[in-house]
Structure formats: C-alpha cells, structure tokens
Amino acid sequence: MEALVLRIDVGPRIGLGHMRRATALAEEARSLGLATLFACSAQARPILEREGVSPDALIEPDAIEAAGPRATVLVDTLWSGNGAATALEVERLVAAGLTVAVLDSLPRDHYEVPPAGRGADLVVTPYLAAERFRSAPRAGRWLTGPAFCVLDPAFARARAGMGRRAGDRILFSCGGSDPEGTTAAFLDRLGRDTRPVDVVIGPLFAGPLRARIEAAAATRPAVTLHHAPTTLASLMAGAGLVAGRAGLQRYEAAALGRTGVYLHHGDSFHGYFEAFASSGLARIHFAARPGGVEGFLDDLARIARPGAHLPELAFNEAAFAAVDGGGARRLIEAFWAVSRS
C-alpha cells in the first residue's frame, strides 16, 4: 500500500461523521509512512479544506483509478439510501484492480455485494455486537466490533491521560448540522439555574438555528457555546455526561468512560441502539416513538438541575472497557495486511 485513498462525502444531510473518520484514518496512515488522498464530491471539498485538508490531497471520485495500481481505497459512503450506489462504486474500483475496503453500516444501510459482483477485499463493521444485526458480507475478510471503531487519535491521548473520574458538566452536541433543531429545543427546556453545560454549534448549522441557540445561551449563565471545534476530546474529558444526537459521539464518549443520553432520529437501527443501551453504555430515546423527543428533553432537564451528584455523571466502567480508542490504527494495519497479501 503506497497510497491510501479515502472515499467519503460530507454535507448538511450526511453530516460530518464520515469526514471525522477519514481524517483520523489519514493521521494514522501518515504515521505509518503512507500517503493519503481524499476522494469526495465538489460539495464536500470546501468543508474538508476548512478542516485543514490540503487541496492537493483532494480528488474527484472518478479519478480514483488514476491514483495508480498500488493505491488502495477505503470506501465510507454508506448512509441512508446510498447502499446501492456504494456497492456499484466498489465493484467499479475492484474491477480496476484496486484493493478496496468498505467501512460498513448496519441494516438497512449496510454493504451488500450485487448478485454478480466480486465484493470488497475487506469489510469492517465497527459496531457493538454487529454480527447480531447483519449476516457476513461476501468479502475477502470481515472484521466487526468496537475494536475497529474509528475515532480521532485525540481520544486515545485523552484516555491515556485521565483518571477514572467524571465531572459535573454536561456536553451537548448534535453533530455538524442538527437539521431537526434539537440543540435549540434543549436550551429552551433549561432554566437559568443549571449544572454547567457545554453546547457545540457545528460548522453546518443553519443561520436561523445558530441565532436561536445564541439568544437562548445569552440568558443562561451556566451555558458555554463552542463553535465548530475540530475535536470533542477535551470537552468530553471535562464532562460528566454526553448528550445529543446518537452519532459517532456515542463511541467517543464511551472511550472516555462517559455515559451518554442520546436522541435517535429515523426508523432504522432501533434494535442495535437498544442493545447498545442495554450494555450500559448510554440511555437512548427514539424520536419516532410517542413522546420520544419530549422524554429526551425531560430526561436532560432533570439531570441538568443542580444538586446531588447523579449516577449518570459517574465514570462509566462498562463504556470505558468497550471502546479503547485504537480502532483507526487497527483498521489501517488490517487493511495494509490485506493489500500486501
């Protein structure tokens, strides 16, 4: 493997999780002496550049084959409704003679090989108990579980330097865009007298939502706003509880021994999230169920009231044991071994 091509896309609908994984993988690849390129849509390019990715490292998806026969490709484009397109793109790259890995999702957004397809060389499904929720894909090799969950290396560094304790703060984040406006609804539910609350405003938040959040925070002294931080590692390390959208941060928080209270939108992954919660890593509310959003907001409003230290704010040993933050390096090393075989 002389060059690693990371095939991703980002945007208001997709979010930033794919980009965060890609930049973490790129950092690990560079530490092993591997060049990295990002293959993405024109919409994604300015977002990646704002995150510090060099324009020289950005290529069009149709130009991947031109990266050379020694290049390998990791495809992370599985989101709702994009499964078939991802499978076809993988087949195109495999047919061109490239070594291809897929960063998988769970049903209904998981990777499936077309009936006459060859399949990827490596598929990684980095979810807790993933094998309970999907069958083995037709691939050269399949790796599963949170040991391969890709996190910013800053989380491994924060984990190494922390003790087994948690703070009294609440960290609230709904990812890069928050299309449902949950951040503003959360602040509206808070009174003036609360525990310290850190609120993240993602780089793709719409202007009106940003204005609502800033106005609400101005009347709540305990609320601190954080505009588009490049990593949440230090904020999570200083928190007792992590809350918001049930995205990648459910694993980020777990790696630091933080309990999560999350709201899941959509009608997919309910079984997986229920299993995730039953493992003691988080409490998850479902927006599609009656009272789901209100229950989530009520839950957080209760925890935010100042007073005795609550169990939700204690160090979470089960979460800390489940996710160790080393998934990016394991994935790169596994892919490297496949590419050299």
pLDDT tens track, the chain, 341 positions = 578 999 998 877 777 788 889 999 999 998 888 889 999 999 899 989 988 899 999 999 999 998 776 779 999 999 888 999 999 999 999 999 999 999 999 999 999 999 999 999 999 999 999 999 999 999 999 999 999 999 999 999 999 988 888 889 999 999 989 999 999 999 999 988 999 999 999 998 999 999 999 999 999 999 999 999 989 999 999 999 999 999 899 999 999 999 999 999 988 899 999 999 999 999 999 999 999 999 999 999 999 999 888 999 999 999 999 999 999 999 999 998 898 77
DSSP 3-state assignment of 234?
Answer: helix
Structure tokens at 159: 């984990």
C-alpha dist (Å) from residue 171 to 198, 242, 254, 300, 320: 5, 5, 13, 11, 17
Looking at residue 135, the DSSP 8-state letter turns out to be P
pLDDT of residue 236: 97
Looking at residue 131, the DSSP 8-state letter turns out to be G
Residue with tokens 């090799």: 141
pLDDT of residue 1: 53
d(CA 269, CA 256): 24
Entry pTM: 0.91
In the chain, helix, strand, coil percent, each to 5?
40, 20, 45
Structure tokens at 274: 């229920």
Backbone angles phi, psi at 5, to 5 degrees: -100, 125
d(CA 181, CA 323): 29
Give the ranges where the chain is alpha helix by DSSP (H).
Answer: 17-31, 45-50, 83-95, 153-160, 182-189, 207-218, 233-237, 249-255, 270-278, 292-304, 317-322, 327-340
Number of other residues whose CB lies within 10 A of the CB of residue 277: 18
Q: Which secondary structure element, helix H or strand E, spans residue 103, and what is its range?
A: strand 99-103
pLDDT of residue 134: 96
Q: How far apart are the first and last CA of the chain?
A: 11
Structure tokens at 102: 């897929």
Closest to 219 in 3D by CA, of 242, 197, 241, 203: 197
